[in-house]
C-alpha cells in the first residue's frame, strides 16, 4: 500500500534539517527523499545522502525533460524533487519525508493531496539570525538575503497542517515524531494498511 508523504518546510536557520535527521534516527520506517540542487555541498554534506548535487546545466536538462515533481529557485540556487525516486518510494509502502521550501510544498500538495505539511518556526528572528551566523558557511550578503526572505517564507505558515516552534531541539524532534505517529493512525491510512481489521465494520 502507498506510504505517507511528509512535507517539512522552514526558513533557513530554523533547524529543519536537524529535526528531520533526528526523526530519521528515531523512526527507521521513515525514508528521506533526497532532492537535487545546484548549490555547492557544505562541509560534511554527502552526495546522494543530503542532496544530489548537480550543475545548473544538468538541473535544467532534468527540468525540461519533466523529471521533477516540483522545483524552485531559492537563495540563488535551484532545488527539485525527482518524480521517479519519490513515486518508487511511496509505491513500495515507505513513509517518505521531504524537505522543501513553501513553493515546492504548494506544488507537492497538488500532486499528493494527502501529504502532511509541517512548518518549522524559529523562536524569534534574532535566534534565526544567530543560527545562520553560527554556521560560519555563508558570506554576509547571503545571510542578509536569507533573513530578508524568512519573513516572506513564514507568511505561508497557514498553508500547513502542523507548526513546530523550535525552541528546544529534543522537544521539537519529539513533536515531529508525534505528528508522524498520529498521521499513521488516521482512519484512511489504517483502513488502507490494515484492511483485515476493518472487515467486521463493513468499511
Digit-coded pLDDT (tens) for 113-164: 889 999 999 888 788 778 777 776 677 787 787 888 888 899 999 999 999 9
* Contact in structure between 3 and 95 (CB atoms under 8 Å): yes
At the fourth CATH level, which superfamily is domain 5-193?
Answer: P-loop containing nucleotide triphosphate hydrolases (3.40.50.300)
Is 28 strand, coil or helix? Answer: coil
| Residue 168 CB burial class (10 angstroms; 0-12, 13-18, ≥19) | exposed
Query: Any idea what the Cα angle at residue 114 is, between residues 200 and 26, rounded to 5°?
Result: 85
The domain segmentation of the chain, as residue ranges, is 5-193
Phi first, then psi, for residue 32 (nearest 5°) are -90, 135
Tens of pLDDT, residues 190-203: 887 777 777 655 55
Q: What is the dihedral of CA 9, 15, 45, 71, to 10 degrees?
A: 10
The pTM assigned to this predicted structure is 0.83
Residue with cell 515546492: 104
Average pLDDT of the residues in 3-19: 91
More confident residue, 150 or 23: 23
Amino acid at each position: 500500500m502507498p506510504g505517507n508523504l511528509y512535507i517539512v518546510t522552514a526558513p533557513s536557520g530554523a533547524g529543519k534539517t536537524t529535526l528531520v535527521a533526528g526523526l530519521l534516527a528515531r523512526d527507521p520506517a521513515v525514508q528521506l527523499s533526497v532532492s537535487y540542487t545546484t548549490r555547492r555541498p557544505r562541509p560534511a554534506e554527502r552526495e546522494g545522502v543530503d542532496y544530489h548535487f548537480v550543475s545548473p546545466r544538468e538541473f535544467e536538462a532534468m527540468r525540461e525533460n519533466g523529471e521533477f515533481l516540483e522545483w524552485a529557485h531559492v537563495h540563488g540556487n535551484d532545488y527539485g524533487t525527482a518524480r521517479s525516486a519519490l513515486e518508487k518510494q511511496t509505491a513500495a509502502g515507505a513513509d517518505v519525508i521531504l524537505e522543501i521550501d513553501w513553493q515546492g510544498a504548494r506544488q507537492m500538495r497538488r500532486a499528493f493531496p494527502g501529504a502532511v505539511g509541517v512548518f518549522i518556526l524559529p523562536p524569534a528572528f534574532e535566534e534565526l539570525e544567530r543560527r545562520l551566523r553560527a554556521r560560519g558557511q555563508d558570506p554576509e550578503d547571503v545571510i542578509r538575503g536569507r533573513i530578508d526572505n524568512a519573513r516572506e517564507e513564514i507568511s505561508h505558515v497557514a498553508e500547513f497542517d502542523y507548526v513546530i516552534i523550535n525552541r528546544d531541539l529534543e522537544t521539537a524532534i519529539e513533536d515531529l515524531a508525534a505528528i508522524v505517529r498520529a498521521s499513521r493512525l488516521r482512519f484512511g491510512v489504517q483502513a488502507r494498511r490494515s484492511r483485515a481489521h476493518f472487515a467486521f465494520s463493513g468499511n
